[in-house]
A and B are shown apart, each in its own frame.
Chain A
Amino acid sequence: MIIIKNISKKFFVKKTTVQALKNINMIIEKNDCFAIVGESGSGKTTLANIILGIYQQNEGEVWFEKHQLYAKRNLRQRKLIQYVQQNPMSTLNPKKTILNTISLPLKIHNIVNNNQIIERVSKLLSYVGLEPEFMVRYPDTLSGGQKQRVAIARALAAEPQVLILDEPTSALDVIVQSKVLNLLLKIKKEFNLTYIFITHDLSVVRNIANKVVVMNKGKIEEYGATKNVFLNPSSEYTKELIKAIPTVLDKEDELKPK
């Protein structure tokens, strides 16, 4: 369980202050697929960075299970929460083979002995549907979907309890997106993971998340079970967002707020 308690974050740019987050409260239960949605600049990635300990919040607390997490974390705390970023093209080191990329967290967190690394990496690759031969390849020989699979395998390597997925499928084609989402759901079940899923794509959220937070300009607009939020949105902003979703079926249009 992750508890976000009254988090605020300001950035100081020259003489102006940007309030990126204001009094954010939320509870992420174990095994949730917890979606954070909002448009660019709504603060969703800032929030992820605070949960990860990359940024220090100005106010508020982050609790994981029964311990408070600070921006400065020990190895064990860092291992618990892993991160899959938006752009698979820039998140993998172009000068490292896939083997080196995935084995780094194995070494840092001392997960397996050195002589078992290759075996473990090939196992991790098989979880994400890639052949062991990918180990010797470099990122530029992979397609976008394959790169995102490697990024997921790397996040899994540390044996985390929580995965933060920041727009993991936004850069992918629809068919590939659907495959990666299916893979994520399968992995979640298999490893008993909690997902914090950050996205601006509400149709994806509708289909994979059980809870959703709608953010707007650093504040929470709406918070609740996914089905409720989509069928009975209470805030005007959420209604506008749902109305703007491009849909392909008539029955979807009927579900949009009037």
Chain B
Amino acid sequence: MSMSNKLLKIEDLELSFRMYEGISTVLKKINLELAKGEKVALVGESGSGKSVTTKLILGLLNQKNVSKKGKILFNNRNILNLSQNEFKKIRGNNISIIFQDPIAALNPVFKIKDQFYEVNLNNKKISRKDSFIKTCEALKKVSITDPERILESYPFQLSGGLAQRVVITMAMINKPDLLLADEPSTALDVTIQNQALDLMDELTRKTNTAVLLITHNMGVVRKFAEKVYVIYRGVIVEEGSKLQLFSNPGHPYTKALLESIPKLSGDGLPEYDDNPPDYASIPKYVH
């Protein structure tokens, strides 16, 4: 096997679920690459297969009815079929994740400090007191002025924006190589969404962490990512740098996605073809 300098390399990844009605294939030969420190977006609508991709990278799809093919190379090691014990060493240390709804991602019955303790302990043996101090420092860096109060709170006592800061800090505290961000800003107001993206950008830059951003919002992609993959029904239909993709979208689906966003220029809403073409059958466009 040739060594590559890619941090994450997904090769011909296929995923299907065996169901009562038959086999449902949700990922069809996905290929995707991330270099160290690179910010890549995977864009698509509900059901396109973007979230299951992150679950596969984290080893969270292990039901009996799941069949996986292909490779997920993380630091040149295929992690697709690792055991759960092996994955435990990776999760939270080398790869971490931020979920869509920060309040739902936190455990409602534990204080924030206890949830941080668990994450810190996962990295190396640490006392509760040291964990508290370490976490306070980390929270101060994300402009939380009273980290002690936050740490003594339960998740429901935090606002959405605050909870998102906590979750981002938690994901970044062990300085992972790769951060998966699954719609990290969708549940937030626009101003808070902006702050959350800026914060993610700042923290990942410091630690040279690569980010795989999962989203359906092209505006967020344009703000955050360097490289973009567009996914439609389990097929990557277009890939390219942000600049290429936004200035010159090649695939009809990408064009439809971009057109569908209401514009600030107020040119009205685009009209839709009620019978759109089968985008998945149109060949992939690579810039």
Contact = CB atoms under 8 A, between A and B. Distances in A.
Interface string B261-278: 111111111111010000
Interface residues of B, number: 34
A129 B274 CA distance: 10
A255 B272 CA distance: 26
Contacts of B270: 178
Interface string A90-102: 0000000000000
A185 B223 CA distance: 30
B260 interface: yes
Interface string A152-185: 0000000000000000000001111111011001
B191 A244 contact: yes
Nearest to B256: A175
A182 B189 CA distance: 24
Interface string A104-123: 00000000000000000000
Interface residues of A, number: 38
B257 A174 contact: yes
A143 B263 CA distance: 26
Contacts, number: 107
A255 B160 contact: no
A181 B269 contact: yes
A235 to B, nearest CB: 14
Q: Classify the secondary structure of A's interface with B.
A: helix
A13 interface: no
B190 A207 contact: no
B46 interface: yes
Interface string A179-203: 1011001000000000000001111
B265 A251 contact: yes
B25 interface: no
The 7 closest A-B pairs by CB, nearest first: A246-B219, A39-B189, A252-B264, A173-B45, A178-B260, A203-B262, A244-B190
Given A241-B191, A246-B217, 8 more contacts: A39-B192, A174-B216, A175-B272, A176-B45, A179-B272, A181-B269, A200-B189, A207-B262
